[in-house]
Structure 1
Amino acid sequence: MDCYLVMSCLSRQQIPPIPKVLASLLHRNHCTKNNTYKLYSSNVVCLAKDLNVTVRNGPVIKNPDDKSPPHFTWQTPFGLFTQTNNITTFHFDFGKYIFRGRIGPPVPWGPNGEGPEGWIDKLPFIPLHWFVFSLRSPVIQYELLNVQTGHRIERTNGVVHMEKNWGNSFPKGWIWSQGVSSHDNISFALSGGLVSLGEITTTQFLIGYRNLAKNLNLNYRPGNAKFSATHNGCVGWFKIKVYGLLHEIHLSASADLSTFSDCLYGPEITGFRQACIESYDAIINITVFKREFLSLKKIDSQIIKLSALEFGGTYTCDKRCKKGES
């Protein structure tokens, strides 16, 4: 039996070399309940001229606003991705596999279209932007067909995390992690690394944590928090402390090295090349403290299993997926 995890659709429209448009399906073979296995990717690519993006069945003539619900179609010779009335539909042919399904309404990061960056995403000089469209959309239905064997998997449950990036290029080194606890309405997402502004390079992060049962809706970014982070891509762990005005978050993430993929494709200004590794078997430990006068009071502690953990660029082990200069 095969176990399948995630699909990503990426597109760039700058100068050569190719590929400029890429879709990846990450999967694990012979997945069992108590064991973990390495991630593999199946990829399909095409030229930028073969990508067609429409908004409300017409050409794209302006950037979207923050508040309006998305209504667009992303189409290539190998696949289709649509967003209409808060329902996502997709159908992709990866050669050996066909993956299609429908996803329900989003659970947004914040009100009025706010994403992890908050007001920062309005700054024109930021080299890369990160937006989370949905923290935990419900799966309506999905189907995955192994064309070679005829084996078919059909399901009607699960949760889906959806996000996007845009800008000039990814950082020289970065970490991304995300996870949900379906039964407890707990979720988190974080991204960060080496951010270059002109001649200055700093380490910055964006992080959000949700625990509805404890009324915790925490969002931190440069400007409202300080960060202290360490990482080791050769061991497969990452730790960060977030110092906010009213709260602190201590988060550690780790995954067995055997569960990580080989280098996966990541975007550069010239196109896509192998730039990062991922595991979807990470164990996340999150502790939240509330500031009380001169002390800290622990108000939440959670373990979120089967989370995503990605090391990219120079943050991979021995820089084996180091990005070229953009």
Structure 2
Amino acid sequence: MEHFAPHPSSQFEGYYSKFDLASGSHIALIICSVPGAKSRPHMVSFTYYPSSGHPIFQREHFVDNIERVTTDEKTKAFDLRVPGMGVMSTEGNGRTSYNFAAEDGSWSLEAQCEEDYMPWRKDKSTPEGWMVHLPFPLHWHVHSLCSPATFTLDIPALGDAFPAQDRKSRATIHQEKNWANSFPDAHMWVQAWDNEEKRGICLAGGKIMYNTAYMLGYRSPSLNLDFVPPFSVSYLNLLSPFMSATNDWDTRTFSISVSNYTHKLELKARAPKEPGWFGLASPFPDGHRANFCRESFIATIEARIWVREGWWPWSAWKEVKTERWEGASLEFAGGYYPERGESKKD
């Protein structure tokens, strides 16, 4: 909970909530602040994403203020209050509720987590582990992999194009947070979850501190794996004994192979060029820069997992799992997204 709670001294702080609706549609809600920025310091971004990937409804509200209020010092419960728009409220047990309505009446959302949230791991509350305390230029925290919730959604701006099954139903929520100085120059993000089989994967990383580094977590009923630095790093973008990664915006593909002393994982993600991509603003010291991220929620992710058969570094690998997810998330951002910037029209 302490990593999800506000960090008042950070130069920026952003909360990302992705709702997977029972119909197959999705909602992405971002609440982000760069308190010292002169332009666009505060943003609430709302995206409604149909299961087909079209048509996407999006509003980015650059608001006057977002209040980060700790409501219980002991449990670190807190509110994110957007004057005139609504509140995201998190309890001490990690459960979160949302109550937002756009001032122009174009959309509104109410949601409530039903049970305790599902953390990154029971024995490790954040992907970074002990590294969360280091002075990195950016920190990435996953608060919830998949929390069950109920919601009520209204999008009058869509009129009859808004399906009845998405007005009030059940969902699961994936929740993340970034904080520190600013977004990296280039990064990738991949996320998928199968709620019926309780298996999922989540990855984030890119260029940071003259290196390329990723953090990856795989979850299933029988196997839980994390791959983090010093294994998942390309040092000075030249030396990478345990990891290789490639991305190509033109073909909308990303792949990574990473290992540690006991396990190896290969991941391949791809998404169709059209439809299904939407832009997002990213926080930088000068404020939110529009269209610096590009996301799809109709990606396909494939993963293969091996275990080392012996204790020696040269011991052979044995394949133990092959996984596949449809309707997954794939994001290119910054330098990995060549069409970034405000000239791109969504």
Q: Residues 49-88 of structure 1: matches in 2 within 5 Å? A: 50-56=65-71, 69-77=75-83, 78-84=85-91, 85-88=93-96
2:331 counterpart of 1:310 = yes
For 1:35-81, what per-residue CA distance to the aligned partner results, in whole angstroms no more than 9, with x for missing partners?
4426442111212xx322211268xxxxxxxxx75411110122210
Partners of 2:200 and 2:86 in 1: how far apart? 29
2:192 counterpart of 1:171 = no
1:117 to 110, 119, 128: 128
Q: Match for residue 63 of structure 2?
A: 46
Q: C-alpha displacement at 1:20, in angstroms?
A: 1.3
SS in 2 for 1:305: strand
Give percent identity, aligned residues only.
25
Partners of 1:73 and 1:266 in 2: how far apart? 22
For 1:252-287, what per-residue CA distance to the aligned partner results, in whole angstroms no more than 9, with x for missing partners?
000111134343111111211121100001110011
1:97 to 98, 104, 107: 107
For 1:191-235, what per-residue CA distance to the aligned partner results, in whole angstroms no more than 9, with x for missing partners?
010012xxxx111100000011x2x11111112443210000121
Partners of 1:301 and 1:113 in 2: how far apart? 25
Amino acid at match of 1:45: F
Q: Residues 1-326 of structure 1: matches in 2 within 5 Å? A: 3-17=25-39, 19-28=40-49, 31=50, 35-37=52-54, 39-47=56-64, 50-56=65-71, 69-77=75-83, 78-84=85-91, 85-94=93-102, 95=104, 96-104=106-114, 105-111=116-122, 114-124=125-135, 126-139=136-149, 141-148=150-157, 149=159, 153-196=166-209, 201-212=210-221, 214=222, 216-225=223-232, 226-274=242-290, 275-293=292-310, 294-316=315-337, 319-321=338-340
Q: C-alpha displacement at 1:159, in angstroms?
A: 1.4
Partners of 1:40 and 1:245 in 2: how far apart? 45
User: For the structure 1 residues 239 and 82, does the alpha-carbon distance in structure 2 shift closer, same or farther, using more than 3 Å as the test?
Assistant: same
- In the alignment, structure 1 segments of 5+ residues that lack a partner are 59-67
SS in 1 for 2:268: strand
For 1:89-108, what per-residue CA distance to the aligned partner results, in whole angstroms no more than 9, with x for missing partners?
11122331111111232111
User: For the structure 1 residues 156 and 210, does the alpha-carbon distance in structure 2 shift closer, same or farther, using more than 3 Å as the test?
Assistant: same
Normalization by structure 1: what TM-score?
0.85
Amino acid at match of 1:240: I
Amino acid at match of 1:175: M
- In the alignment, structure 2 segments of 5+ residues that lack a partner are 1-22, 233-241
Partners of 1:263 and 1:36 in 2: how far apart? 13
For 1:283-313, what per-residue CA distance to the aligned partner results, in whole angstroms no more than 9, with x for missing partners?
1001110011321111111101111100000
For 1:109-137, what per-residue CA distance to the aligned partner results, in whole angstroms no more than 9, with x for missing partners?
1246621111111112x110000001111
SS in 1 for 2:274: helix
Partners of 2:198 and 2:123 in 1: how far apart? 21
User: For the structure 1 residues 277 and 73, does the alpha-carbon distance in structure 2 shift closer, same or farther, using more than 3 Å as the test?
Assistant: same
Partners of 2:94 and 2:323 in 1: how far apart? 30
SS in 2 for 1:158: strand
SS in 2 for 1:257: coil
Higher percent of residues as strand: 1
> Could you say what the CA RMSD is over the residues aligned between the two structures, in angstroms?
2.3
SS in 1 for 2:127: coil
Q: Is contact 1:259–1:280 with CA below 8 Å preserved after alignment?
A: no
